[in-house]
Amino acid sequence: MTATSGHPQAFVRVFTQRFSCTPRGARLARQLALVSLHDWGVPEGTPLSADAGLLVAELASNAVTHGRVLGRDFELRMTLLEGVLRLEVSDPRRDRRPAVRPHAYQAESGYGLRIVDALAVDWGVMDRIIGKTVWAELARRPAP
């Protein structure tokens, strides 16, 4: 499809939802992310869907564990563009900024951002008026 200017028109898909800042909210965020991707033509089980599900799970879990403020939700926003899937998880705590840190031997936690760093083509943190947004981008291969 082309726009009136003769240039190809890019299709953009956006999903935004707030979730309770609980483990159940984090699970629901992952499930709805996968359903939305499926609706957008990215079936469950594909590499993009699997990586997105893992990243949403990690970022939502971090928001619940480290970004929780009583009475406040976290927000998931996914944007699917022609060449990239951008995932954003926002929480109300600005003072707890994520970073990949050296890992302790035999530690049972602390691997989440290492996974994000390994899978994402880029990721980072942005301040919001209230809180912060942790974002990650996955490369999307064009359909054959």
**pTM higher than 0.85, yes or no?**
no
Q: In a structure prediction context, what are the per-residue pLDDT tens digits for the chain, which is 144 residues long? A: 444 555 555 678 999 999 999 999 999 999 999 999 999 999 999 999 999 999 999 999 999 988 888 878 999 999 999 889 999 999 998 776 665 556 655 555 556 788 899 999 999 999 999 899 999 999 987 555
E-state strands within the chain: 13-19, 74-80, 84-91, 122-127, 132-139
Q: Does domain 20-102+110-139 have CATH number 2.40.40.20?
A: no
